[in-house]
Amino acid sequence: MPAKKPAATKPAATQSATSRPAVKKSAAKKPAVKKAVAKKTPATQPAAKKTGAAKESGAAKKTGAAKKTGSAKESGSAKKTGAAKPETHAALVRRARKINRELAETYPYAHPELDFENPFQLILATVMSAQTTDLRVNQTTPALFAKYPTPEDLAAANPEEVEELIRPTGFFRAKTRSIMGLAKALTEDFGGEVPGQLEDLVKLPGVGRKTAFVVLGNAFGRPGITVDTHFGRLVRRWKWTEETDPDKVEKAIGELFPKSEWTMLSHHVIFHGRRICHSRKPACGACPIAPLCPAYGEGETDPEKAKKLLKYEKGGFPGQRLKPPQSYLDAGGIPAPPLGATTTTG
């Protein structure tokens, strides 16, 4: 019986032996599983990376496109709002002086549009030009100058006779008081002569800085800026200044130009304001300074339509007070002086 025990254990050993290979096989399969997992993991990880990279690159592309689009919009809006960008003082000076050069070429015949032969006649005509046109004053002054050629004569005149003579200019009673008071002051304080100093001129009845500079610049050859309605309107339209007070406008514009150019600058701007750059409807399409004007487009931009807006009645050309025929316009529709035109005195 004891000899049978080893035999009894053999099947167990055999069974365990036979089971071990199975375990080994399963163990052998485990590496295969590991390999599969290992293979699967590397295979899936790059795909995930690729997918992530694709997403990232797609997002980057979108972001880049958005950035480009945004920058394009920004650059486009910057271009559109370029006019709103603050202009440096140096750039303003360059632009303002270039405008004046262009106007000088357009209006080489620019001059004071009041007819006069001496400082006394000029100061009287300038005082009477308030609230009326130069053409109306020029139609009225010949009779006045003929009857009262000197300050002494006008100071001793009958006010009613003077009123009747200057009635066409409007506000004739107030203007009569001004010019007769002016004549009396010249007679009593300046020996019957028009003074050539600003501080003396502004003391005279009816004479402000504007009138004073008209007299100084055109009768005495002393530079001055004449800030009338046209001048103030245009320099604000051109963004030379935002000031509205005439004295402040005069100071601001005086800083942009040499003093020697002040008088002719005034003539150029006033001529342009009367002929092309009108208050309500500028003739933008016939304007020689359109590329330099920040207000371009406020008026008519079509060249043919703009030509019809040009005006000549207020003073016209030197020696010619009527509107010239179309033949006197140059190819661009810019006013040009008629052949044989003569410049008025002063």
Predicted confidence at residue 112, as pLDDT, reads: 87
Backbone angles phi, psi at 208, to 5 degrees: -110, -170
Q: Which of 147, 228, 311, 314 is catalytic?
A: 228
Based on the residue annotation, tell me whether 210 is a catalytic residue of this protein. Answer: yes
SS3 state at 64: helix
Tell which phi-psi region holds residue 340, choosing left (phi > 0), alpha (psi between -120 and 50) or beta: left
Based on the residue annotation, tell me whether 228 is a catalytic residue of this protein. Answer: yes
Q: Which of 115, 134, 175, 210 is catalytic?
A: 210
Predicted confidence at residue 60, as pLDDT, reads: 45
Q: How far apart are CA 238 and CA 208, in angstroms?
A: 25
SS3 state at 15: helix
Domains, the chain, with CATH or none: 87-112+223-337 (1.10.1670.10), 117-221 (1.10.340.30)
* pTM value > 0.75: no
Q: At what angle do helices 159-166 and 172-189 cross, to 10 degrees?
A: 120
Predicted confidence at residue 63, as pLDDT, reads: 46
Dihedral through CA 8, CA 14, CA 19, CA 23, nearest 10? Answer: 130
Q: How far apart are CA 343 and CA 317, in angstroms?
A: 8
Predicted confidence at residue 113, as pLDDT, reads: 87
CB 334 within 8 A of CB 286: yes
Q: How far apart are CA 26 and CA 10, in angstroms?
A: 24
Q: How far apart are CA 225 and CA 254, in angstroms?
A: 7
CB 252 within 8 A of CB 213: no
**Weakly modelled stretches of the chain, pLDDT under 50:** 1-57, 59-82, 313-346
Predicted confidence at residue 175, as pLDDT, reads: 95
Does the CA dihedral 254-256-261-266 come out positive or negative? Answer: negative
